[in-house]
């Protein structure tokens, strides 16, 4: 039995996230079907994360235990032959037997992208949030800086049965920057709670609206109360950028 690590990228527009669901098409289902066509079995797959419906991934990792003898360097082309155009394998390598795409992960980086122009951009439909009022990226960058550090992020989590135990996460980077009409919030951490990045982004937009001040962020974190933070920003603006091992 071999353990292979696949690095993939996908446009999540047409999928209900990564994890297999009943009566909904997911990236995992499509990936497993392609893997079966290549190897004859579905393999034992472990993903680095569970992305929500409509969320995209520039880098997403999947470890697969399989008895297939196909060389890692040939797997990419074989998988991409069967995958649809909105999913692609970027690389494959053999990893130790105890490697797990999720539990071996040391951290992840996400970005939330906002098209900041009075006129919508049709080519970004489903790929960025359209926000037509002017954004002060310097003000939002100041607010984002308060996310950095080890904090209990209960205020920035949609609570359900998925989230139990320690809610502390260590954020190593949080910044807002503008690239023309695109404003991007980028955040890296050793782990993320359910909807954490989207709630962080929604809270920054509350700062932009003047309903919160940058200096309010520490109090929101300290409250450990979801009601104190901003809304959950829509899924299509969210990208998983990097996975760290």
pLDDT in tens, 167-187: 999 999 999 999 999 999 999
- pLDDT tens column, 146-158: 999 999 999 999 9
Same domain, 56 and 112: no
- pLDDT at residue 148 in the model: 98
- pLDDT tens column, 20-46: 988 899 999 999 999 999 999 988 999
CATH number for the domain including 137?
A: 3.30.70.660
User: With 60 as the cut, is the pLDDT of residue 163 above it?
Assistant: no
User: Is 159 within a domain?
Assistant: yes
Same domain, 75 and 177: no
Same domain, 215 and 113: yes
The residue out of 41, 66, 94 marking a domain boundary is 94
Q: Whole-prediction pTM value?
A: 0.93
Residues marked as catalytic:
52
The residue out of 67, 94, 121 marking a domain boundary is 94
Same domain, 67 and 113: no
User: Is 113 within a domain?
Assistant: yes
| Coil, strand or helix at 165 | coil
Helix, strand and coil content of the chain, in percent to the nearest 5, comes to 30, 30, 40
User: Is 186 within a domain?
Assistant: yes
Same domain, 57 and 28: yes
Same domain, 112 and 207: yes
* Structural domains in the chain (count): 2
**Of 16-25, 74-83, 232-241, the least confident:** 16-25
Same domain, 113 and 84: no
pLDDT mean over 121-132: 96
CATH number for the domain including 83?
A: 3.30.70.580
User: Is 102 within a domain?
Assistant: no
Same domain, 49 and 137: no
Q: Pick the more confident residue, 162 or 63.
A: 63
Q: Which of 223, 171, 218, 217 is nearest to 193 (CA)?
A: 171
Range of the domain at 215: 107-244
- pLDDT at residue 69 in the model: 93
pLDDT mean over 208-236: 97
Helix (H) or strand (E) holding 110: strand 107-115
User: What CA–CA distance (Å, rounded) separates 183 from 193?
Assistant: 23
User: Is 100 within a domain?
Assistant: no
- pLDDT at residue 162 in the model: 56
User: With 60 as the cut, is the pLDDT of residue 245 above it?
Assistant: yes
The residue out of 65, 94, 123 marking a domain boundary is 94
Neighbours of 63 (CB within 10 A): 21
Same domain, 160 and 190: yes
Q: How much of the chain, in percent, has pLDDT values that exceed 90? A: 93
- pLDDT at residue 42 in the model: 86
As a whole number, the mean pLDDT across the chain is 95
Q: How confident is the model at residue 50 (pLDDT cuts 50, 70, 90)?
A: confident
- pLDDT at residue 22 in the model: 86
pLDDT mean over 65-78: 94
- pLDDT at residue 165 in the model: 80
User: With 70 as the cut, is the pLDDT of residue 164 above it?
Assistant: no
Contact 104, 47 (CB under 8 A): no
User: Is 68 within a domain?
Assistant: yes
Contact 105, 243 (CB under 8 A): yes
């Amino acid at each position: 039995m071999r353990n292979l690590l696949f690095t993939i990228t996908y446009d999540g527009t047409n999928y209900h996230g990564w994890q297999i669901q009943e009566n909904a098409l997911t990236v995992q289902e499509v990936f497993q079907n392609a893997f079966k066509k290549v190897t004859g079995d579905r393999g034992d797959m472990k993903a680095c994360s569970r992305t929500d419906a409509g969320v995209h991934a520039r880098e997403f990792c999947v470890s697969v235990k399989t008895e297939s003898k196909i060389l890692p360097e040939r797997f990419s082309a074989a998988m991409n032959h069967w995958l649809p155009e909105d999913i692609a394998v970027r690389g494959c390598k053999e990893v130790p037997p105890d490697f797990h795409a999720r539990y071996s992960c040391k951290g992840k980086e996400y970005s939330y992208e906002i098209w900041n122009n009075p006129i919508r951009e049709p080519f970004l439909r489903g790929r960025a949030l359209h926000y037509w009022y002017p954004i002060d990226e310097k003000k939002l960058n100041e607010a984002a800086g308060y996310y950095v550090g080890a904090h209990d992020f209960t205020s920035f989590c949609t609570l359900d049965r998925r989230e139990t135990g320690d809610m502390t996460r260590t954020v190593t980077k949080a910044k807002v920057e503008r690239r023309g009409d695109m404003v991007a919030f980028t955040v890296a951490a050793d782990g993320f709670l359910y909807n954490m990045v989207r709630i962080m982004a929604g809270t920054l937009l509350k700062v932009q609206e003047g309903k919160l001040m940058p200096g309010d962020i520490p109090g929101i974190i300290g409250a450990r109360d979801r009601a104190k933070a901003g809304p959950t920003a829509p899924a299509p603006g969210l990208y998983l950028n990097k996975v760290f091992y």
